[in-house]
C-alpha cells in the first residue's frame, strides 16, 4: 500500500500492534511496533542439529531424532514459540493473531524478519506447507503461503506455492501428542504432477514447528519426488 494511502487510512482507523496493543503511529510501515520486533529473539541455548529442539550437549542430535530421524535435514526458526494465555510471548501472540484472528498485516513484518535471518542456500526453492482445500476455504488464506511469499520477495528466492498439495483432510494438531500427529498426517501430502525436483534443495516454510510431524510428512513427499534435500524454516519453534 502506498505511504499516503496508509497514512490516510490510519488517520481514519488508527491501528495498534496486535501482540502488545500499543498504538501504531499513523503511516507506520509495519504492523509490529519496534518493541515487539526487538522482542522476537533467535532461539538461545543448545539446539538439536536436526530438528532445532532444545538439546544437550550442543551440536548433537536430540534423543527424539536419534530414535526417529525426520526426513528433513535441519530446521530453523525466528524464535521460541511459547503459547498459553499468561505465558505467551510476543512471537506466539503475533502468530496466533495472524493464523486464528485473520490479521494478515502481520505476515509482512514476520516475513521481513524471516528474510533478515534466512540461513539456507540462495538457490533453494521455497515451498509453503499447504492447507487442505476445505480448510483453506474456511480460513480464507494460508498463513504459510503469505510468509513464504514475503520471504521470497525480500530475498529473491524461488517460490513454488502449488508444488505441494495436501491430498486428504487432517485433524487440527492442537492437543494431539507426537504419535497422534504422525498418524494424522501420514501420507497426507503429495507433489503435484509436472514439477521437476530432481537434485533441488527445498526449504519448507510454515508458521510453527512443534513435534515436526507435518514437516516430516511434507519432506517425505518432496524427497520421494526427487528433491535432494529438505530444510524447514518457521516463525516459531516450541521447546
Residue 15's pLDDT is what?
Answer: 86
Q: Is 54 exposed, middle or buried (0-12, 13-18, 19+ CB in 10 A)?
A: middle
Residue 97's pLDDT is what?
Answer: 95
Residues 169 and 140 grouped into a single domain: yes
More confident residue, 60 or 69: 69
pLDDT digits (tens, 9 = 90+) for 150-180: 999 999 999 999 999 999 888 777 766 778 8
Residues 47 and 156 grouped into a single domain: yes
Judged against a pLDDT cut of 70, whether residue 66 lies above it is answered with yes
Residues 11 and 127 grouped into a single domain: no
Residue 93 to residue 80: CA distance in whole angstroms? 12
List the domain range (segments joined by +) for residue 25: 1-39
Residues 5 and 34 grouped into a single domain: yes
Residues 122 and 202 grouped into a single domain: yes
Q: What is the mean pLDDT of residues 131-156?
A: 95
pLDDT digits (tens, 9 = 90+) for 193-215: 999 999 999 999 999 999 999 99
Residue 175 to residue 140: CA distance in whole angstroms? 23
List CB contacts of 55: < 8 A, sequence separation 6 or more. Answer: 46, 47, 48, 49, 61, 62
Listed residue (93, 127, 113) closest to 219, CA to CA: 127
Q: What is the mean pLDDT of residues 60-70?
A: 92
Residues 78 and 28 grouped into a single domain: no
Residue 1's pLDDT is what?
Answer: 52
Residues 130 and 230 grouped into a single domain: yes
Residues 13 and 52 grouped into a single domain: no
Residue 189 to residue 191: CA distance in whole angstroms? 7
The domain spanning residue 217 has which CATH number?
3.40.50
pLDDT digits (tens, 9 = 90+) for 2-61: 565 555 565 666 789 999 999 998 878 889 999 999 999 887 778 898 999 887 676 789
Judged against a pLDDT cut of 70, whether residue 235 lies above it is answered with yes
Residue 110 to residue 222: CA distance in whole angstroms? 25
Residues 142 and 167 grouped into a single domain: yes
SS3 194: coil
Q: Is 170 exposed, middle or buried (0-12, 13-18, 19+ CB in 10 A)?
A: buried
Peptide bond into 91 cis (omega under 30): no
pLDDT digits (tens, 9 = 90+) for 77-114: 999 998 875 567 999 999 999 999 999 999 999 999 99
- What rounded mean pLDDT belongs to the chain? 89
Residues 184 and 133 grouped into a single domain: yes
Residues 95 and 169 grouped into a single domain: yes
Query: Contact at 8 Å (CB) between 103 and 139?
Result: no
Instruction: Specify the number of domains making up the chain.
Output: 2
Residues 27 and 51 grouped into a single domain: no
Amino acid at each position: 500500500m502506498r505511504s499516503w494511502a496508509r497514512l490516510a487510512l490510519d488517520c481514519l482507523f488508527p491501528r495498534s500492534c496486535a501482540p502488545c496493543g500499543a498504538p501504531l503511529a499513523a503511516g507506520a510501515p509495519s504492523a509490529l511496533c519496534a518493541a515487539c520486533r526487538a522482542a522476537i529473539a533467535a532461539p538461545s541455548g543448545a539446539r538439536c542439529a536436526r530438528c532445532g529442539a532444545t538439546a544437550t550437549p550442543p551440536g548433537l542430535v536430540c534423543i527424539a531424532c536419534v530414535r526417529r530421524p525426520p526426513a528433513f535435514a535441519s530446521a530453523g526458526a525466528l524464535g521460541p514459540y511459547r503459547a498459553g494465555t499468561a505465558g505467551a510471548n510476543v512471537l506466539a501472540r503475533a502468530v496466533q493473531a495472524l493464523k486464528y484472528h485473520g490479521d494478515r498485516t502481520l505476515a509482512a513484518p514476520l516475513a521481513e524478519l524471516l528474510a533478515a535471518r534466512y540461513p539456507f542456500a540462495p538457490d533453494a526453492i521455497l515451498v509453503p506447507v499447504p492447507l487442505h482445500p476445505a480448510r483453506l476455504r474456511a480460513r480464507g488464506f494460508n498463513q504459510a503461503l503469505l510468509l513464504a511469499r514475503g520471504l521470497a520477495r525480500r530475498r529473491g528466492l524461488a517460490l513454488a506455492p502449488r508444488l505441494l498439495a495436501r491430498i486428504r483432510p487432517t485433524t487440527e494438531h492442537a492437543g494431539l501428542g507426537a504419535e497422534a500427529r504422525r498418524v494424522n498426517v501420514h501420507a497426507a501430502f503429495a507433489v503435484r504432477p509436472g514439477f521437476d525436483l530432481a537434485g533441488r534443495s527445498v526449504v519448507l516454510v510454515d508458521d510453527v514447528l512443534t513435534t515436526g510431524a507435518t514437516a516430516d510428512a511434507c519432506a517425505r513427499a518432496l524427497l520421494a519426488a526427487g528433491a535432494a534435500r529438505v530444510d524447514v524454516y518457521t516463525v516459531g519453534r516450541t521447546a
